[in-house]
């Protein structure tokens, strides 16, 4: 099985991936509801995320746009859809270069850049992820995720010194 597994309830193990593997592409059509509900769910009441008139005339953008926590959650979804339920995100770092607006199609693409085992025996995979709209990079993201080493391992059971993201 390669890193390009089906996005099901099975977990990817570290033995199944190697540097250079590509994750399956994920695309999503953004609506105004996507933007507004994302802002509301993160208690971001700033009007540029729900008030089109404010966003355009006071903020100078072309429309309302995804807020940072909402965009972060889309990266988390992309990674955990790929990893399955045993994947445990340890670190995520991203840099937003542009905004995501209603009627945009977000396209996520990822590549495995590193697979390693730490001193506590936890298997880590580093992913380089790109979010683009119409072929233009909107955000680049690096994620370090713990994957099970085999079907009997579960990174979620690690505690204390066994879990150092």
pLDDT tens, residue by residue, 109-130: 999 999 999 988 899 999 999 9
pTM above 0.85, yes or no: yes
Output DSSP code: residue 151: T
Query: Residue 84: what pLDDT?
Result: 95
- The structure tokens 């396209």 sit at 107
58, pLDDT greater than 60: yes
Single out the residue of 69, 93, 68, 85 nearest to residue 165, CA to CA: 93
For range 125-142, the mean pLDDT: 97
Nearest-angstrom CA–CA distance, 74 and 88: 15
Task: Say whether pLDDT at 51 is over 80.
Answer: no
Q: How far apart are CA 45 and CA 119, in angstroms?
A: 43
Q: H helices of 14-120, where?
A: 32-41, 52-53, 68-83
Domain 14-29+68-162 maps to which CATH number in 2.40.10.220, 3.10.129.10, 3.40.50.10420, 3.30.479.10?
3.10.129.10
């Amino acid at each position: 099985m390669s890193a390009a597994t089906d996005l099901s309830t099975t977990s990817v193990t570290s033995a199944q991936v190697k540097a250079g593997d590509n994750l399956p592409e994920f695309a999503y059509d953004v609506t105004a509801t996507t933007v507004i509900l994302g802002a509301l769910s993160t208690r971001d009441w700033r009007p540029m995320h729900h008030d089109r008139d404010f966003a355009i005339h006071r903020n100078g953008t072309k429309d309302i746009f995804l807020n940072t926590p909402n965009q972060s959650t889309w990266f988390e979804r992309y990674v955990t859809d790929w990893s399955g339920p045993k994947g445990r995100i340890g670190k995520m770092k991203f840099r937003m270069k542009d905004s995501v607006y209603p009627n945009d199609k977000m396209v996520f693409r990822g590549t495995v850049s590193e697979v390693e085992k730490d001193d506590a025996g936890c298997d880590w995979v580093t992913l380089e992820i790109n979010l683009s709209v119409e072929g233009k990079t909107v955000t680049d993201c690096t994620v370090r995720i713990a994957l099970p080493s085999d079907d009997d391992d579960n990174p979620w059971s690690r505690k204390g010194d066994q879990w150092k993201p």
